[in-house]
Structure 1
Amino acid sequence: MNSYMIKKLNLLYKRYNYLIKKLSDYKIYNNHNVLRNLSTEYSRLSNIIKPFIKWNKLQSNLINTKSLLKEKDKDIYLMVLEDIKNINFKQKKLEKILYKLLLPKNKKDNRNCFIEIKAGSGGNEAAIFVKNISRMYIRYAESKKWKVEIMHIHYNEHGNGFKEIILKIIGIGVYGKLKFESGGHRVQRVPETESQGRVHTSTCIVAVMPELSKTEMPEINIQDLKIDTFRSSGAGGQHVNTTDSAIRITHIPTKIVVECQDERSQHKNKSKALAVLAARINAIKIEKKNKDNALKKKKLLGTGDRSDRNRTYNFIQKRVTDHRINLTIYKLNEIMNGNLDLLINPMIYQKNNRL
């Protein structure tokens, strides 16, 4: 490891120890804003300092082991060389991890995000798949201790799936973990209603958008909005309100339509719908801005066709394939139950290596 990296890591280590002392002072718990900021910083630094501590221990072992090279016994000398080789190998692995952790992060990576999932081709099976996928993301968020808010659900005609669902995931590093989930997702399985045992292929479209700060909110002219109210409803009459609390906002220039009916308050539903609308408008602006950029030419939303997919979930073979990085894992049940790191971590690793 070069001297600059060691110097940088030692400075971060001092800051880390300072945070430990500050967070152990009970007086700080009276100031929630300071506590939250320090806790967030401590959590971020922990990911860097832990491998650095391991590296330092290996460095001490390396110095002690090299001192044994003075031994004249040939067998001992060869054993020492082997130990040095093993220590160097372990250090190199940690150095790669530390290097990536020290790389400048996208400022949006630590933000909350919206996950919008829409049924693509495949009719009723596509709607069921949307429900399955949304459950997968909710389970993943729960495993990370993140909070999940359901912004909107549009049930299918049979009530056994969703035509569309919008989730808000709240936590540290949420967008950074989930941003590569955007695109087409394809499922291959035999539907329960299929008497001949034929495999059915259907799709859904996932869009992951970071939550915007107040200063980043695009200017939305109230005259460009068509706002409708209606009674909240769900499959089989679930969550039916006696008042028109559900909100539908249409942004006339872009023809974006956002609905929110999760809250019983019309004001809260309107606030949530506007937040999603702002994120969608911002996503469209970014897409247009980067249209000619080779690194970002892929659109946020796919077409929903069976051929347009980032990932395939094959229930017959119990496998999941991410076509972007040619990764296939035969742990479909684990993944559908929220163990998404099996797919997300290799994807992040590949993206970092390409930069």
Structure 2
Amino acid sequence: MLDKLNIVKNRFDEVNDLIIQPDIISDQKRYVALTKEYKDLKDLMDKREEYVELTANLEEAQEILADGSDPDMVEMAQMQLDEAKEAIPKLEEEIRMMMIPKDPEDAKNAVMEIRAGTGGDEASIFAGDLYRMYEKYCSSKGWSTNVVDTSHGTSGGYKEIIFEVNGDDVYGILKFEAGVHRVQRVPQTETQGRVHTSAATVMVLPEAEEFDVQLDMSEVRIERTTSTGPGGQSVNTTYSAIKLHHEPTGMIVSCQDEKSSHKNLEKALKVLRSRLYEIELAKKMEADSAKRKSMVSSGDRSAKIRTYNYSQGRVTDHRINLTLYDLDNIINGDIQKILDELQLVHNTEKMQMNDDGI
């Protein structure tokens, strides 16, 4: 373990020297990447210091016990040895988790898309509930959300809503939310008191920068229209709404949230790049699946990942068989405990893969 940590320390020292170099500081993209790497390595170096101290205590205690000449020292050494033997395996496990290679996409911002599925008006209302759940969760993390486009349901909620999430390690945390979310409850419009099952699909895309996707604008047809919607200030008579048609894939992206045509175009291009980037990522994941199949990170849009049962106050994540009777708090944005469990399973799988030499 110490040999591996010493290799990491060499890289930490190298990064520590690089981030103070003037040419690095002037290269914003590289400076940000190195600063992020420095922060991750610094956390690992703190654990290295703790590990070095514990192993030194273990060796010292073994030497005193082997000598055995001072009964008082022997008693203290035995306590020190027992503490070190208990702490070292736990610390090694923690370090192994921290040394798992991170997905480069994890540090990116995200574009989230929520679409109402089966269930008619109730599905649209549920899509709205999910959007508010994520909005509150993001707010609690200090992340900002920015709506790109919406299609409102006839009885509330959304047929579709697309929004950006900006912050630290957004995609790495929210990617586990991709899939089909199902709700079981009595709809407001139900007069017989019967429980209905509805669904909504959540997509989570890593936000693609211009250097991630080479977008040929000659293949993009831009359509400018007037904004439409339920009324109010967001609707105007100028041609500010943008619809992009990506000819090679047939992909269509709309944005009318901003009053400026330029800003709507900027947002729409960001979503288009992210969707195209997702296609490339999907190809890579398909290739990787020959090596392993991750239970929690597939992001399969057709996979039912979670059920929200209102009559029982229950939320069940089907990928890891986790059931929590805390629906009110969860639907109000307290989803961290679910995400932590998903991350733990994901990291355990990756650690097993590394141990197997895959």
Query: Which of residues 256, 260, 269 is equivalent to 1:265?
Result: 260
Q: Is contact 1:108-1:175 (8 Å) kept? A: yes
Deviations 1:192-218 (A, max 9, x none): 333333222111111111122322214
* Unpaired segments ≥5 residues, structure 1: none
What residue is the counterpart of 1:110 in the other structure?
107
What residue is the counterpart of 2:190 in the other structure?
194
Change beyond 3 A, Cα 1:321–1:229: same
1:146 offset after TM fit, Å? Answer: 2.2
What residue is the counterpart of 1:155 in the other structure?
152
List aligned pairs for 1:113-132, cutoff 5 A.
113-132=110-129
- In 2, Cα distance between the equivalents of 1:81 and 1:180? 46
- In 2, Cα distance between the equivalents of 1:6 and 1:335? 39
Matched, 1:231 2:226: yes
- In 1, Cα distance between the equivalents of 2:248 and 2:34? 42
User: How many residues were matched structurally?
Assistant: 343
Deviations 1:242-298 (A, max 9, x none): 422111122234232211112221011112112211221232344356557444699
1:54 offset after TM fit, Å? Answer: 4.1
Q: Is contact 1:156-1:163 (8 Å) kept? A: yes
Query: Secondary structure of the residue that 1:237 maps to in structure 2?
Result: coil
1:110 offset after TM fit, Å? Answer: 1.2
Matched, 1:352 2:351: no
List aligned pairs for 1:1-355, cutoff 5 A.
1=1, 3-11=2-10, 33=28, 39-59=35-55, 61-63=57-59, 65-66=61-62, 69=65, 81=78, 84-158=81-155, 160-222=156-218, 224-237=219-232, 239-288=234-283, 290-291=285-286, 293-294=289-290, 295=292, 300-303=299-302, 308-354=303-349, 355=353
1:161 offset after TM fit, Å? Answer: 0.2
Change beyond 3 A, Cα 1:247–1:100: same
Deviations 1:6-38 (A, max 9, x none): 313544665798799x7xxxx9xx979498566
Change beyond 3 A, Cα 1:300–1:251: farther
Which amino acid letter does the alignment assign opposite residue 229 of structure 1?
A: R
1:153 offset after TM fit, Å? Answer: 1.6
- In 1, Cα distance between the equivalents of 2:233 and 2:26? 41
What residue is the counterpart of 2:356 in the other structure?
none
Change beyond 3 A, Cα 1:185–1:173: same
Bigger mean CA deviation after superposition, 99-108 or 203-212? 99-108
Query: Secondary structure of the residue that 1:104 maps to in structure 2?
Result: coil
1:120 offset after TM fit, Å? Answer: 0.9
Q: CA RMSD in A?
A: 3.5
Change beyond 3 A, Cα 1:314–1:50: farther
Change beyond 3 A, Cα 1:6–1:286: closer
- In 1, Cα distance between the equivalents of 2:71 and 2:250? 79
* TM-score where L is the length of structure 2: 0.80
1:349 offset after TM fit, Å? Answer: 2.1
Which amino acid letter does the alignment assign opposite residue 314 of structure 1?
A: N
- In 1, Cα distance between the equivalents of 2:214 and 2:27? 30
Bigger mean CA deviation after superposition, 165-174 or 82-91? 82-91
Q: Is contact 2:306-2:315 (8 Å) kept? A: yes
* TM-score where L is the length of structure 1: 0.81
Q: Is contact 1:186-1:312 (8 Å) kept? A: yes
Bigger mean CA deviation after superposition, 231-240 or 33-42? 33-42
Change beyond 3 A, Cα 1:330–1:58: farther
Change beyond 3 A, Cα 1:163–1:81: farther
- In 2, Cα distance between the equivalents of 1:180 and 1:174? 11
Bigger mean CA deviation after superposition, 225-234 or 323-332? 225-234
1:326 offset after TM fit, Å? Answer: 1.6
Query: Secondary structure of the residue that 1:235 maps to in structure 2?
Result: coil
Change beyond 3 A, Cα 1:74–1:341: farther
Bigger mean CA deviation after superposition, 175-184 or 70-79? 70-79
- In 2, Cα distance between the equivalents of 1:259 and 1:296? 34
1:46 offset after TM fit, Å? Answer: 4.3
Which amino acid letter does the alignment assign opposite residue 115 of structure 1?
A: M
